[in-house]
């Protein structure tokens, strides 16, 4: 079966409405698998580009799950499934703050652009979450690179550890979750300030500043 944009768009509409079958889920999985080639090309380019670079600690490959795709379609009614930019991608965690993120971001975009990839760089701020997202597009397929400072990664992992299986903490939740999210947003602002000056101190001091900020926010 040829998975045309029209066919995938209609599939996305059914998934969003909850009116889908096992055959639709099988089609969604087939669609996910069509990202394998662009996934491999992008990931290998990232690895080779960063091989001689310093200031990053790890990359984590990711392929968006069926449930995550359905959840995102429900949260964003206008999003068409073929235009979802984060089905394939990876996450890069930086051993440093904003300055190192800017340097590595420029290094990565400079590697993709000469190879005829379309590149869009976004600074994402939502619900306290912060990161640089580099969207690389080849043909009709997107690949998303999440570039997180060390502090941003600590924050995101903290939210994940506090979230239930429905992930309601990030997207509303009950009164208790909303109060907790308010504290987490304050912490994100503090982390952003720490990130701006992280290059002026040692990594150990940077880590201690992060720990101190967590203690300060959650002890009040």
pLDDT digits (tens, 9 = 90+) for 138-194: 999 999 999 999 999 999 999 988 876 556 676 666 788 888 889 999 999 999 999
Give the three-class secondary structure for 119.
Answer: strand
Closest CA to 46 of 130, 102, 38: 38
Among 123, 150, 177, give the residue marking a domain's end.
150
Question: Structural domain tally of the chain?
Answer: 2
Instruction: Give the residue numbers spanning the domain of 123.
Output: 5-150
| Dist CA 137 CA 143 (whole Å) | 6
Residue 169 DSSP code: T
Give the three-class secondary structure for 120.
Answer: strand
> What pLDDT shows up at residue 166?
58
Among 121, 150, 179, give the residue marking a domain's end.
150
Based on the fold, state whether residues 72 and 31 are members of the same structural domain.
Answer: yes
> What pLDDT shows up at residue 164?
67
Residue reference for tokens 């979230």:
163
E-strand ranges in the chain read 56-63, 88-94, 118-126, 129-138, 141-148
> What pLDDT shows up at residue 55?
86
Residue 199 DSSP code: G
Based on the fold, state whether residues 96 and 142 are members of the same structural domain.
Answer: yes
Taking each helix axis from N to C end, the angle separating 5-17 and 22-33, rounded to the nearest 10 degrees, works out to 130
pLDDT digits (tens, 9 = 90+) for 193-220: 999 999 999 999 999 999 999 999 998 7
Confidence at 27, pLDDT banded by 50, 70, 90: very high
Based on the fold, state whether residues 129 and 169 are members of the same structural domain.
Answer: no
- Mean pLDDT for 106-124 is 93
> What pLDDT shows up at residue 122?
92
Based on the fold, state whether residues 145 and 197 are members of the same structural domain.
Answer: no
Based on the fold, state whether residues 32 and 123 are members of the same structural domain.
Answer: yes
Based on the fold, state whether residues 146 and 67 are members of the same structural domain.
Answer: yes
Closest CA to 169 of 205, 207, 215, 127: 127
Closest CA to 102 of 110, 112, 114, 113: 110
Q: Kindly report the pTM of this predicted structure.
A: 0.90
> What pLDDT shows up at residue 19?
85
> What pLDDT shows up at residue 1?
62
pLDDT digits (tens, 9 = 90+) for 57-110: 878 888 899 999 999 999 899 999 999 999 999 999 999 999 999 999 999 999
């Amino acid at each position: 079966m040829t998975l045309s944009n029209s066919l995938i768009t209609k599939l996305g509409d059914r998934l969003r409405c909850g009116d889908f079958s096992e055959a639709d889920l099988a089609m969604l999985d087939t669609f996910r698998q069509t990202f394998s080639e662009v996934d491999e090309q992008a990931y290998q380019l990232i690895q080779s580009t960063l091989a001689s670079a310093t200031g990053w600690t790890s990359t984590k490959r990711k392929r968006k799950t069926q449930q995550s795709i359905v959840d995102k379609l429900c949260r964003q009614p206008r999003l068409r499934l073929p235009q979802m930019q984060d089905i394939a991608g990876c996450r890069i965690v930086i051993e440093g703050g904003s300055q190192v993120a800017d340097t590595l971001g420029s290094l990565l975009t400079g590697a993709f652009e000469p190879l005829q990839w379309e590149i869009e760089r976004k600074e994402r701020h939502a619900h306290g979450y912060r990161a640089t997202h580099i969207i690389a597009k080849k043909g009709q397929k997107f690949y998303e690179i999440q570039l997180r400072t060390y502090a941003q990664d600590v924050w995101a992992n903290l939210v994940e550890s506090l979230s239930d299986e429905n992930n309601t903490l990030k997207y509303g939740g009950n009164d208790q979750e909303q109060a907790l999210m308010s504290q987490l947003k304050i912490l994100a602002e503090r982390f952003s300030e720490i990130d701006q000056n992280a290059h002026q101190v040692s990594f150990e001091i940077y880590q201690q500043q992060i720990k101190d900020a967590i203690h300060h926010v959650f002890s009040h």
